[in-house]
Structure formats: C-alpha cells, structure tokens
Amino acid sequence: MNMKKIVVLTLFVVLGTVFIGISIPRAKTDPKTDFLDYQRPPVLFLENYHDLHMESEDCLECHHEYENGKNILSENDLEDDNAETSCESCHNNQAKYDLQQAYHKQCIGCHDRLIAKKIKSGPVLCGGCHVRIKTG
C-alpha cells in the first residue's frame, strides 16, 4: 500500500474512531450501549468508507493543522495510531470547534460542496449518517 493510501486510511480510521466520541469495533467503546443518551446514535465510519474517500480525496482535505490560515500538516505526519494527528488531539472543549462541530463542518461541508457541483456525494441529513443500530 502506498503512503498516500496509508495516510488517508489512517485519517478515516481516526475520524471514525473519534467521531462524536465513538469508536469502531476494535476500540473499547461499545456504540450500542455507551451512547444511548444522545438524540442520535454515533456514526460508524468504517474502513470501507475510508477506502471510498481515499479513491477521490487528498489526505490533507480532511487531515489538517492550520497555522496562519494555511494547512501545515504534511502527509508524512500521518500514520496509524499517531495520537498527535488524531482529531481529538486538537478538537476538544477548548478548541474553536469541538469534535462534533469539527466533524459536522468537515463532512457535511464537503458533501454539500460536491452536491453543489453536481457530483455524487455522501449524506448531508442527520439520518443519513446517524443510523440507529438495532439491539436485541
């Protein structure tokens, strides 16, 4: 696998892992039970979604570290399980955008821009991403 694919894969795994504080199945959180108080269930951004985005997007479209309005993050900084480049490392309660706001702005914003260009895109309405998992 080339470096760009590894970086993009890492991005979406990290995004999926931290989206609204949830985790994908390999992590310790259980979205079926840990987030029942939320109005909508968490988003599970699984590996196949990341792969789909890797085919059409540049890694730095999602992964970013802004300084003076410029993304200074290098794709070389992106690697699996690098806590320093994970979304939650910056998007916390002290940030301009907390984690949930950052994901909504990043994901929905990108989907909206693609739709405006008449390019097939992902969902922009809540229920398109926040799908309730049936239990028991």
DSSP 3-state of 80: coil
How many whole angstroms separate alpha carbon 132 and alpha carbon 55?
27
pLDDT bracket for residue 18 (50, 70, 90): very low
Write down the mean pLDDT value for the chain: 76
Selected residue with higher pLDDT from 91 and 3: 91
Query: What mean pLDDT comes out for the span 58-71?
Result: 90
Among residues 121, 78, 124, the alpha carbon closest in space to that of 103 is found at 124
CB neighbour list of residue 107: distance below 8 Å, 6 or more residues apart: 122, 129
Closest by alpha carbon to 19, among 114, 126, 101?
Answer: 101
Encode pLDDT of 94-111 as tens digits.
Answer: 888 888 898 899 999 999
Q: Would you identify the CATH topology of the domain 3-129?
A: Cytochrome C3 (3.90.10)
Higher local confidence (pLDDT), 21 or 131: 131
